Amino acid sequence: MYLLLLFKIIFVNAITVKSMSDDYVINNKRFPVDFMFGVATSAYQIEGAWDEDGKGVSIWDHFTHTNSSVIKDKSNGDISCDSYHKIKDDVALLKNLGVNHYRFSIAWTRIIPNGFRGDVNQKGIEYYKTLIKELKDNNIEPLVTLYHWDLPQFLQDLGGFFSDSLSVWFAEYARVCFEAFGEDIKYWVTFNEPKSICNNGYGNGRSAPGIYNPGIGEYICIHNLIKAHAAAYHVYDKEFRDKYHGKVTLVHSVSYCQAKTNSSEDIEAAERNILFNLGWLADPIHFGDYPEVMKNRIAMRSKAEGFIKSRLPEFTEEEKALNRHTSDYFAINSYNSYFGYAIDEPPIVLPPSIDNDTAVGVTFEKAGDGSFGMGKLLLWIKDRYDNPDMIITENGLMTETETLEDDDRISVVRNCLSRFRDVMDEVKLLGYTLWSVMDNFEWTRGYTAKYGIYHVDFNDPNRTRTEKKSGAWYKELIKTRCLTDECVE
Ligand SMILES: *[C@@H]1O[C@H](CO)[C@@H](O)[C@H](O)[C@H]1NC(C)=O
Ligand SMILES: *[C@@H]1O[C@H](CO)[C@@H](O)[C@H](O)[C@H]1NC(C)=O
Ligand SMILES: *[C@@H]1O[C@H](CO)[C@@H](O)[C@H](O)[C@H]1NC(C)=O
Ligand SMILES: *[C@@H]1O[C@H](CO)[C@@H](O)[C@H](O)[C@H]1NC(C)=O
């Protein structure tokens, strides 16, 4: 899940300005029978068992153990939901919900504990094999993320995402996973939310590995990540696709940015915001290279700042060819929408920043709630990336209370789903994945932030799961495929 600090502000806003969106009517068309409803989690956030059965140390183990103050409640994922020991219990929850698919991630450190020597850990492989079998036995389709932020610390010590070798390490790890699990997996994700990995891990330094290098670090990190994604994609393409017929992509995180007014300046600014957020990743994996506006603006500002070369690295022609067409479906995490407007060119100051490279003002004013741009986002993607198959791989609501009566979560999820349903005759949306099936370790917010449709009692050694109102609601939705009391086909 993308840690959006601003989310709370929007949500408060959503209550106070609700009337502004009251004229929005929930879509009453039924979702198609083959529409995939699912739920998502990630390894570090739920598994626990951080050093069991040969698992290596990840950057999140290291980050939380080195200085607990980096986490709001000084907690960590050592035990978390203890899902490592609860395969049967967790799959029973999924079965009870009636989901079509379950999106989870594989911990690199369970598969190759030190990251790259090829000493594969059989116990790690067994764990995921057991999980996948249990899912398949219950007719639940696994949607598998290879990297959800938990790099082996061993590789971090060699530079992590700053290293040119990342693509070699990642392709090797991906090959082990494709080989071990490929037969049962239709949908693969290489990296979850590259922007979160790189902005927070290597730019502002707020998340593991905690490197502060704004305006430079993010760009190098994404550059290496795209090459690693492409390398893994080609491993699948060459060695596994004919056998397993799966699909591979990476997961984008994006909030739709709508122009605040109809002035050409605001329209251009909003477009630039989306290109700096989504185009940064999606353009290279579809077209080979970064959006022109990013290349031009970062080069222009880098020069003014005294850099000899642009802070945005360049792909060689060969790399562009490798990047191009490495997305078999378009995977989107989205929790929000906002308004964008033109601002004056920010003065040249050091350190540089991606915000000032983007140079777009954003506001939540007039937003009834964060769902308003969800349909427009899908239309934007359709137009730019040639009408791809799409899956919403995350959407949901963060709250900070323990309550089981989470009407606010139901309301937000219903609004988002309705906005998606609004455009489904125009785009190829195959499925929706709610984040998350249960409350879990929410990165730097620890256990203070809740996203689950099941409550988890973190004071109980059994980590007992209890269905929330939203869980019952989602179960009913999956049955009826209808967001309103009555639906038309
Ligand atoms: C630990 O993290 C906190 C919060 O980021 C920071 O203020 C503090 O300086 C860190 N302590 C050490 C020893 O690095
Ligand atoms: C922009 O123009 C469209 C179409 O003319 C109109 O529906 C919309 O309300 C306008 N938006 C703003 C913010 O003025
Ligand atoms: C952008 O530049 C302004 C100067 O206009 C500076 O005050 C601000 O800190 C910079 N923003 C970021 C995110 O670094
Ligand atoms: C935890 O689980 C054990 C074994 O199933 C059970 O005996 C015990 O009562 C549970 N404890 C709590 C607090 O639910």
* Ligand index nearest the alpha carbon of residue 72: 1
pLDDT bin (cut points 50, 70, 90) of residue 13 is very low
AA letter at 393: T
* Ligand index nearest the alpha carbon of residue 340: 2
| Each residue's pLDDT tens digit, 326-351 | 999 999 999 999 999 999 999 999 99
| Each residue's pLDDT tens digit, 151-166 | 999 999 999 999 999 9
Q: How far is the CA of 354 from the centre of ligand 3 (A)?
A: 10
pLDDT at 345: 98
Say if 20 falls within a structural domain. Answer: no
Q: Which residue has the higher pLDDT, 456 or 114?
A: 456
pLDDT at 119: 87
Torsions phi, psi for 258 (to 5 deg):
-100, 140
Alpha-carbon dihedral angle through residues 193, 60, 10, 465, given to the nearest 10 degrees: 100
Pairing of strands 389-394, 330-333: parallel
pLDDT at 364: 82
CA gap 192, 249 in Å, rounded:
10
pLDDT at 118: 76
CA distances from 121 to 106, 309, 313 (A): 13, 43, 36
Domain count, the chain: 1
> Which residue CA neighbors atom 6 of ligand 4 most closely?
462
Q: How far is the CA of 440 from the centre of ligand 4 (A)?
A: 20
- Give the rounded percent of residues in the chain with a pLDDT score beyond 90: 92
| Each residue's pLDDT tens digit, 124-137 | 999 999 999 999 99
Burial class (CB in 10 A: 0-12, 13-18, 19+), 322: buried
CA distances from 151 to 47, 65, 154, 367, 473 (A): 15, 15, 8, 37, 36
* Ligand index nearest the alpha carbon of residue 305: 3
CA gap 149, 220 in Å, rounded:
17
Q: How far is the CA of 439 from the centre of ligand 4 (A)?
A: 20
| Each residue's pLDDT tens digit, 388-402 | 999 999 999 999 999
pLDDT at 6: 35
CA gap 147, 47 in Å, rounded:
14
CA gap 290, 277 in Å, rounded:
11
In CATH, what number is assigned to the domain containing residue 404? 3.20.20.80
pLDDT bin (cut points 50, 70, 90) of residue 8 is very low
How many other β-carbons are positioned within 10 Å of the β-carbon of residue 308? 6
pLDDT at 22: 59
Q: How far is the CA of 302 from the centre of ligand 3 (A)?
A: 14
Say if 3 falls within a structural domain. Answer: no
CA gap 113, 172 in Å, rounded:
13
> Which residue CA neighbors atom 4 of ligand 4 most closely?
462
Least confidently predicted of 76-80, 114-118, 200-204, 302-306:
114-118
Burial annotation 438-460 (CB, 10 A radius, 16+ → b, else e): bbbbbbbbbbebbbbbbbbebee
**Does the C-beta of 459 come closer than 6 Å to ligand 4?**
no
Pairing of strands 428-435, 389-394: parallel
Torsions phi, psi for 35 (to 5 deg):
-65, 135
pLDDT at 403: 96
Say if 63 falls within a structural domain. Answer: yes
pLDDT at 17: 32
Residues 6+ apart with CB under 8 A from 122: none
CA gap 168, 174 in Å, rounded:
10
pTM of the model: 0.94
Average pLDDT over residues 22-39: 94
- Spot the catalytic one: 193, 218, 271, 319: 193
pLDDT at 20: 42
Say if 309 falls within a structural domain. Answer: yes
Pocket test for ligand 3, best of 200, 344, 353 (most atoms within 8 A of CB): 353
Residue 220 has pLDDT above 80, yes or no: yes
Say if 379 falls within a structural domain. Answer: yes
Residue 10 has pLDDT above 80, yes or no: no
Q: Write out the residue range of the structural domain in which residue 384 sits.
A: 36-480
CA distances from 227 to 115, 187, 232, 316, 338 (A): 18, 20, 9, 11, 30
What share of residues in the chain are helix, strand, coil (percent, to 5)? 45, 15, 40
Q: Are 446 and 71 in contact (CB under 8 A)?
A: yes
- Spot the catalytic one: 218, 319, 394, 442: 394
| Each residue's pLDDT tens digit, 344-388 | 999 999 999 999 999 999 998 654 578 999 999 999 999 999 999
pLDDT bin (cut points 50, 70, 90) of residue 447 is very high
Say if 25 falls within a structural domain. Answer: no
Residue 16 has pLDDT above 70, yes or no: no
Closest of 261, 449, 265, 262 to residue 363, by C-alpha: 261
Closest of 449, 430, 407, 454 to residue 94, by C-alpha: 454
Residues 6+ apart with CB under 8 A from 18: 368, 369
pLDDT at 366: 52
Q: Are 414 and 370 in contact (CB under 8 A)?
A: no
Element (H, E) at 303: helix 292-305
Pocket test for ligand 1, best of 66, 67, 206 (most atoms within 8 A of CB): 67
Q: Are 223 and 313 in contact (CB under 8 A)?
A: yes
Active site residue 183: no
Average pLDDT over residues 140-158: 98
Active site residue 405: no
Least confidently predicted of 12-21, 151-160, 258-267, 468-477:
12-21
pLDDT at 365: 67
Say if 487 falls within a structural domain. Answer: no
Q: What is the mean pLDDT of the chain?
A: 94
Residue 97 has pLDDT above 90, yes or no: yes
Atom of ligand 2 nearest to the CA of 259: 13
Burial class (CB in 10 A: 0-12, 13-18, 19+), 489: exposed
Least confidently predicted of 15-24, 161-170, 479-488:
15-24
Say if 255 falls within a structural domain. Answer: yes
CA gap 378, 424 in Å, rounded:
9
Q: How far is the CA of 69 from the centre of ligand 1 (A)?
A: 6
Pairing of strands 101-105, 36-40: parallel
Closest of 134, 143, 146 to residue 107, by C-alpha: 146
> Which residue CA neighbors atom 11 of ligand 3 most closely?
356
User: Taking CA 228 as the corner, what is the angle to CA 225 and CA 232, rounded to the nearest 5 degrees?
Assistant: 140
Q: Are 368 and 16 in contact (CB under 8 A)?
A: no
> Taking the mean position of all CA atoms in its chain, how far away is CA 58?
19
